[in-house]
Amino acid sequence: MRPAHRLRQILARFRDTEAGVAAVEFALILPIMLLIYIGSVEASALISVDRKVQNVSGAVGDLVARAKENLTLTELQDYVRVAGGIMAPYEPAPLQQIVTQVSVDEDGVATVVWSRGYEHENPKQSIAHGQGDEYPLPEAITAIAKEQFVIVAEASYKYRPLFGIVIDQDIQLYRENFYLPRFGGQIALN
């Protein structure tokens, strides 16, 4: 048998055989399916953490805005600790929180009355805003808060991806909430 004839027979058998086609197609599509699956898991975790950061910011701001006239540093730290528990089951260590009271004058200029910063539920004043500094409030908040006070609660979180395959770098999440004190007037921080 000549080599050319033998080669034609092998190619004909290969052409007529369909048993391995499904396995080859599956092998080609599997990496793409895995990337889509891992990407969707990463995206869901990121969305979940972002919602938790929003809840932390909202909870702390709401609790501070409910104070009548005075708020102690111990109460504020308790609020921060409780809100840090909202991050479960995610690691709370990368969580930073800043609570600030801002005074808005009749011209709409907002200045910091007091501000406290927390990193992983522990005080860290270096991340807080300076007393007397101008604070950039959104126009909508400034319009309704003229000649009043605003409680600003900020939360930030450095999200580290679960697998690092689809999303391969840390993502900084940040949320900010604004509240008018429930009982009006300034809330003194003692």
Q: For the segment 51-83, what is each residue's pLDDT rounded down to a tens digit?
A: 999 999 999 999 999 999 899 999 999 999 988
Question: Binning pLDDT at 50, 70 and 90, where does residue 19 land?
Answer: low
DSSP state of 72: -
| Two tokens, residue 19 | 């048993």
Cα 116–170–159 angle (5° rounding)?
55
- Cα separations in angstroms, 80 against 56, 175, 187: 8, 15, 17
Strands 188-189 and 70-71: parallel
- Relative to beta strand 95-104, strand 110-119 is antiparallel
User: What tokens were used for 42?
Assistant: 């990463």
Tell me the whole-structure pTM to 2 decimals.
0.82
Between helix 73-84 and helix 21-65 the angle, nearest 10°, is 160
Residue 1: pLDDT above 70?
A: no
Single-letter amino acid code for the residue at 96:
Q
Query: With 90 as the cut, is the pLDDT of residue 14 above it?
Result: no
